[in-house]
Amino acid sequence: MKERMIRVIVCLPVILALSCVFLLWREGGKTGMIVYAQTAALSGEAETEGAQLPASVAYHLKKARKDAQQYYYYAAIKRLSSIQNYEQYEPVTEAISHYQDLMNQCREYPLDQITHIFFHTLIYDTGKAFDSDEDADGYNQVMTTVSEFKWIINSLYRKGYVLVSLHDMAQVDENGVMKPGRIMLPEGKTPIVISQDDVSYYHYMDGDGFASRLVLDGDGKVKCEYVNDDGSVMTGDFDLVPILDDFIELHPDFSYHGRKGILAMTGYNGVLGYRTDEAYKTGANLQDDQRAFLAQHPDFDFDAEVSQARAVAEAMKANGWEFASHTWGHLNATTSSWETLAKDNERWMKNVAPILGSTDMIIFAFGADIGDWNPYAGDNPKYSYYKNAGYHYYCNVDSNQYWLQLTDSFLRMGRRNADGYRMYYNPEMLSDLFDVDAVWDRSRPVPVSAMGVQY
Ligand SMILES: [Zn+2]
């Protein structure tokens, strides 16, 4: 294997956030028509008001503007250039030339200076999560609250961070060779990867202040359900996915080419709050909490559960979200044999992939990697298995700001935990991203327990 390896640990560049300025179109007028205005500063020409464009042209201008806000200038220009006789519409030619200028001002961001943070399911009701029951200490260590997450993404946005995917950092070419990607961003913008683990709403979390599942609302948007003590159900933004969706709707320039986050998914309790594992259908090898769930839901409809989960997953993927394997059974890949990992992956393929789609990314449970810090070698049977099974992207947990290995065969990246443990014990390790003093949820019990931290 020809190694093209990058492994860098670098300390704290302070990066100034500069807002990008974009062409502003002001919508108005009759249905299907657009009255356009543009800032003279951007176009270099006098403001034009009142001219009317065919609805289809206005539509493409609007779509192109969204692409350009997300640094996808190439797509914006391609879209506008494909309008029939586009040269006759001045707003179109001006937009093309403006996007061309912005594209020319972008520079390629170094892949080895991209950081990756991750979260677990967010705590919505801190009173329930931190109620001193047996799970409270663990939640306080490895979870982040809804309020903290909102502060964190505001801080990231203000500092100029932009969400990218592992798939922007590298892609497998037609010959099966991993090739570095080119992330092109304006000065002052910094790529970051965000992932969220275990978005299954496991049975053990019931009644502890977490959402219960992801659903589609009347507009087809992904929202959370939350079950109150009296059994009534609320729908809203009680976890990371809808919070980030809403934030990017308000601030499209927080996303590169429409990217959102990567969800690392197990399968043993189903996915996204739906009880989709075959055990719920066959009744074989049920755990106690699964048996209790089925007893409490005599009208449980497995097929309906699967199709609802699939609809939510489809909507998420169409909206920039991606899924990774977190192993089916939340296995420790360091201590498991390759044969165990292989059997586990077959279960993921059988029970999870039909709902979320297959994936080429694996995010190790507990951060437990299949090798030491040296690049994976072909004689590592766990790596050989996963690579042959189609995995090209591997993530562990590492508290350094940057940890990347990119070879002809794989991309391997460290992830940083932005949770109660890290915020309480090492706030300085997060200072490039946010100020823990401002973010910290005062309803957390202190001190945060330091015992048995696991991811
Ligand atoms: Zn996990």
Segment holding 295, helix H or strand E: helix 288-296
Residues facing 118 on adjacent strands: 195, 417
Q: What is the mean pLDDT of residues 273-293?
A: 97
Instruction: Tell me the pLDDT tens digit for each residue of 181-233.
Output: 999 999 999 999 999 999 999 999 999 999 999 999 999 999 999 999 999 99
Instruction: Enumerate residues 6+ apart whose C-beta is below 8 A from 269.
Output: 200, 201, 202, 203, 275, 277, 290
Report how far ligand 1's centroid is from the alpha carbon of 264 (Å). Answer: 8
- Residue 319 Cα to ligand 1 midpoint, Å, equals 24
Distance from the CA of 137 to the center of ligand 1, in angstroms?
16
**Quick one: pLDDT at residue 37?**
35
The predicted structure's pLDDT at residue 394: 98
pLDDT at 24 over 60: no
pLDDT(259) > 50:
yes
At 26 the pLDDT is 30
When mean pLDDT is compared across 10-14, 132-136, 355-359, 437-441, the lowest value belongs to 10-14
Q: Show Cβ contacts of residue 230 under 8 Å, excluding neighbours closer than 6 positions.
A: none
Determine the pLDDT at residue 132. Answer: 80
Q: Which residues in 55-84 are b (16+ Cβ under 10 Å) and which e?
A: eebbebbeebbebbbbbbbebbbebbeebe
Q: In this structure, are residues 197 and 326 in contact, taking their beta carbons and an 8 Å threshold?
A: yes
> What residue spans of 130-174 are helical by DSSP H?
136-142, 146-158, 166-169
Rg (CA), the chain: 23
Percent of the chain topping pLDDT 70: 88
pLDDT at position 51 is 62
The whole-number pLDDT of residue 13 equals 36
User: pLDDT tier at 15 (50, 70, 90 boundaries)?
Assistant: very low
Return the minimum-mean-pLDDT range out of 20-34, 89-103, 356-370. 20-34
- pLDDT over 80 (residue 128): yes
**Amino acid 452: pLDDT:** 67
C-alpha–C-alpha distance, residues 347 and 278, integer Å: 9
The arrangement of secondary structure in 111-439, i.e. its CATH architecture, is Alpha-Beta Barrel (3.20)
pLDDT value for 450: 85
User: What is the reported pLDDT for 455?
Assistant: 59
Q: Above 80 in pLDDT, residue 98?
A: yes
- Expressed in angstroms and rounded, the spacing between residue 181 Cα and the centre of ligand 1 is 28
The predicted model gives 157-172 an average pLDDT of 98
pLDDT of residue 32: 32
Q: pLDDT band for position 367 (50/70/90)?
A: very high
Asked if residue 342 lies in contact with residue 385, where contact means CB atoms within 8 angstroms, the answer is yes
Q: Where are the domains of the chain?
A: 34-105, 111-439
Please state the rounded mean pLDDT for residues 92-107. Answer: 98
Report CA(204)–ligand 1 centroid distance (Å). 14
Distance 265 CA to ligand 1 centre (A): 8
Q: How confident is the model at residue 38 (pLDDT cuts 50, 70, 90)?
A: very low
Helix (H, G, I), strand (E, B) or coil at 206: coil
Claim: this prediction has a pTM higher than 0.75: yes
Question: Over the chain, what is the mean pLDDT?
Answer: 90
* pLDDT higher than threshold 90 for residue 327: yes
- The mean per-residue pLDDT over the stretch 71-94 comes to 97
Ligand 1 centre to CA of 192 (Å) is 20
**Residue 351: is its pLDDT beyond 90?**
yes
Backbone angles phi, psi at 64, to 5 degrees: -65, -35
Among left, alpha and beta (phi > 0; psi -120 to 50; other), residue 209 is: left
pLDDT band for position 52 (cuts 50, 70, 90): confident
Q: From ligand 1's centre to the CA of 330, what distance in Å? A: 6
How close is the Cα of 83 to the center of ligand 1, in Å? 47
pLDDT for the residue 453: 63
pLDDT in tens, 299-318: 999 999 999 999 999 999 99
Confidence band of 451 (pLDDT split at 50, 70, 90): confident
Ligand 1 midpoint to CA 396 (Å): 11
Task: Categorize the per-residue pLDDT at 20 as very low, low, confident or very high, splitting at 50, 70 and 90.
Answer: very low
**Alpha carbon of 118 to ligand 1 centroid (Å):** 10
244 C-alpha to center of ligand 1: Å?
20
